[in-house]
Amino acid sequence: METTIAGQNINLNPEGYLLDLNQWNPEIAEHIAQEEGIELGEEHWPVLKFLQEQHRQEVALSIRKVGKSGIVNIKEFYALFPGGPLKKASRIAGIPKPASCI
Amino acid sequence: MKDIVILGAGTAGTLMSNHLAQKLNEEWRITVVDQRKVHHYQPGYLFVPFGVYNEEDIIKPIEKFIPERAVLYQESIVKVDADNDRVHLEDGSVLPYDVLVVATGTDIAPEEIDGMLGPHWHQSVFDFYSLEGAVKLHEKLKNWEGGHLAVHIAEMPIKCPVAPLEFAFLADAYFEERGMRDKVKISFITPMDGAFTKPVASAHLGHLLEEKNIEVVPNFNIMSLDGEAKKILDYEGKEVSYDLLVTVPTNKGAEFVERSGFGDELNFIPTDKATLQSKVKENIFVIGDATNIPASKAGSVAHFEGEILLENVLRFINGKTLSSRFDGHANCFVETGHGKALLIDFNYTHQPVSGTFPIPGIGPLNLLKESRMNHMGKMAFKWIYWNMLITGKHIPFVSAKMNEAGKNLEETIV
């Protein structure tokens, strides 16, 4: 599905996740964050950057991994992205939703 | 004399030892290390709680499946000294190697969850990812009078990601067959956003949960367990009370990985997802659940990786580039109860879709659809496992790389 966010054409899957991280930029992140009811502040960006780095290294993400990143602990991660932190943070970071095999 | 050392004699290690024994010349000595005496048919764990298999049905001696030319060390591993190409064992022996294959899998680590272990462990809180847990759960279920059965996944990744769902389906059928389904509430508690997370599988299979009256509690990331109050709590303050909790605790790689200094935070080993060469050192390869690659942790994956890894190890020792590439292929039967099962076949790029398997357009097995034939396939697989899979024989029609023919791949286009 192609759509326009912050004046840029991007491709999203039906659940609203970016299909290509190369299309991501901070304005798009802010727009998606608003849809998730989150106002991005200084503390959000290092977490998003960490998720993107892990994704580029083809490492599967988990709450634990974020909690051990040295950037935030699990409670802080929840506070920044309430109600499904990994799912929401992944969407805002422009990477796929964490999923199982089916 | 050159040395190839294989750590672990489970599914992956055993099949690699057999593959290598067939292909390496006599210049190579093959050594296998595993402290355990018995090989477990792990897909059988799922059936033990329901009395379909008992303990004796799913274990055989490890040494029976190790090739004659290989040396088997039954010692636990202290650490790998990657800089000096040596493995240190508990009894003080040191095994030098030219090539190392790590196949030490993953195991449950209930101690990772605050409060999970305690007097309630294997009393009201059970796992079925160990033979001991599965056997004790069987004893519990036999005499259980009903209540809230909570089936729970602590965190990903876990071995055989469909097994918890299969457990919930089989529990529904088990209690129904015993005439007490109305006395049991079954819920499925997952850190993911649903029991099914892939769009096509969700569309085909979502109805199963409603039909079987299984309540899904999504987005639940466990923080702690209170064994006395019989409840689990998540990081957001959500709580679920249970009478009987069947949990899949955190899964971790082997402890020697941590002592060797090359695992991630769960002791899984950074590995190239295509070549299966470790990112630790070029003469270390990793197969099966021990890797950190984004493929499912499952026996079928280890099996398909085996053919790729054999090729790449042979290329490596002959000084050639590693050209064989694993595509993430997995193939799993999913029991749905009452003598039926589904079959899924997928890889890194293609999610499970409907279609026919293994012969395109013919089958006889159906993908992503419940059938009795699929269940018979799952039950027949035990024989295939002991006689073909871990002994390194080729299974007819089933290739290491996923076959795109016979699959309705257009389903993924939305």
3-state secondary structure of B359: strand
Residues of A77-98 as b/e, b for ≥16 C-beta within 10 angstroms? bbebbeebbbbbbbbbbbbbbb
pLDDT of residue A98: 85
B311 lies in a domain?
Answer: yes
Number of domains in chain B: 3
| pTM listed for this prediction | 0.94
pLDDT of residue B328: 95
Query: Can you state the percent helix, strand and coil of chain B, rounding each to 5?
Result: 30, 30, 40
pLDDT of residue B411: 84
Q: Which of B250, B277, B299 is the last residue of a domain?
A: B250
Claim to verify: residue B38 and residue B63 sit in the same structural domain: yes
Claim to verify: residue B239 and residue B265 sit in the same structural domain: no
Claim to verify: residue B300 and residue B225 sit in the same structural domain: no
B322 lies in a domain?
Answer: no
Q: Which amino acid is at A24?
A: W
Cβ-based neighbours of B58, under 8 Å, separated by 6 or more: B40, B41, B42, B44, B45, B48, B131, B382
Task: Tell me whether A87 touches chain B (CB under 8 Å).
Answer: yes
* pLDDT > 90: percent of chain A: 69
How many Cβ atoms sit within 10 Å of the Cβ of residue A24? 19
pLDDT of residue B153: 97
Claim to verify: residue B171 and residue B217 sit in the same structural domain: yes
Asked if the Cβ–Cβ distance from B236 to A78 is below 8 Å, we say yes
- Pick A100 or B330 by higher pLDDT: B330
- Report the residue of chain B nearest A60, measured CA to CA: B294
* pLDDT > 70: percent of chain A: 100
Task: Tell me whether A75 touches chain B (CB under 8 Å).
Answer: yes
- Report the residue of chain A nearest B267, measured CA to CA: A65
- Chain A residues inside the 8 Å CB shell of B351: 102
Claim to verify: residue B142 and residue B272 sit in the same structural domain: no
Q: Domain residues for A72?
A: 2-93
How many whole angstroms separate alpha carbon A36 and alpha carbon A50?
A: 19
B370 lies in a domain?
Answer: yes
Calculate mean pLDDT across residues A13-25. 93
Number of domains in chain A: 1
Residue B149 parent element (H or E): strand B147-153
- Look at residues B366, B367, B385 and name the one whose alpha carbon lies nearest to residue B303: B385
Q: Which of B293, B317, B341 is the last residue of a domain?
A: B317
pLDDT of residue B413: 65
Claim to verify: residue B120 and residue B146 sit in the same structural domain: yes
A58 lies in a domain?
Answer: yes
Task: Tell me whether A78 touches chain B (CB under 8 Å).
Answer: yes
Dig out the tokens for A28 from the structure: 């798009």
A33 lies in a domain?
Answer: yes
B301 lies in a domain?
Answer: yes
Claim to verify: residue B9 and residue B78 sit in the same structural domain: yes
Q: Which of B192, B220, B250 is the last residue of a domain?
A: B250
B324 lies in a domain?
Answer: no
- Report the residue of chain B nearest A81, measured CA to CA: B236
- Chain A residues inside the 8 Å CB shell of B345: none
| pLDDT surpassing 90 at residue A5 | no
pLDDT of residue B171: 98
Claim to verify: residue B201 and residue B312 sit in the same structural domain: no
How many whole angstroms separate alpha carbon B347 and alpha carbon B352?
A: 8
A62 lies in a domain?
Answer: yes
pLDDT of residue A100: 81
Name every residue in B having a CB less than 8 A away from some CB of A.
155-157, 161-162, 191-193, 196-199, 201, 205, 219, 221, 223, 235-236, 250, 264-266, 273, 292-294, 296, 330, 332, 334, 344, 346, 351-352, 414
Task: List, for chain B, all residue ranges whose pLDDT scores fall below the cut of 70.
Answer: 413-414
Question: Within the 31-50 window of chain A, which residues sit less than 8 Å (CB to CB) from chain B?
Answer: none
Whether this model's ipTM surpasses 0.90 comes out as no
CATH number at residue B227: 3.50.50.60
Claim to verify: residue B100 and residue B70 sit in the same structural domain: yes
Contact B360, B405 (CB under 8 A): yes
- Chain B residues inside the 8 Å CB shell of A58: 273, 293-294
pLDDT of residue B108: 98
Q: Domain residues for B360?
A: 330-412
Claim to verify: residue B184 and residue B60 sit in the same structural domain: no
How many whole angstroms separate alpha carbon B350 and alpha carbon B369?
A: 17
The predicted-structure confidence for B231-280, as pLDDT tens digits, reads as follows: 999 998 999 999 999 999 999 999 999 999 999 989 999 999 999 999 99
Cβ-based neighbours of A28, under 8 Å, separated by 6 or more: A5, A6, A8, A10, A18, A94
Claim to verify: residue B37 and residue B93 sit in the same structural domain: yes
| pLDDT surpassing 90 at residue A58 | no
Calculate mean pLDDT across residues A72-92. 93
- Report the residue of chain A nearest B269, measured CA to CA: A59
Claim to verify: residue B243 and residue B162 sit in the same structural domain: yes
A17 lies in a domain?
Answer: yes
A98 lies in a domain?
Answer: no
pLDDT of residue B245: 98
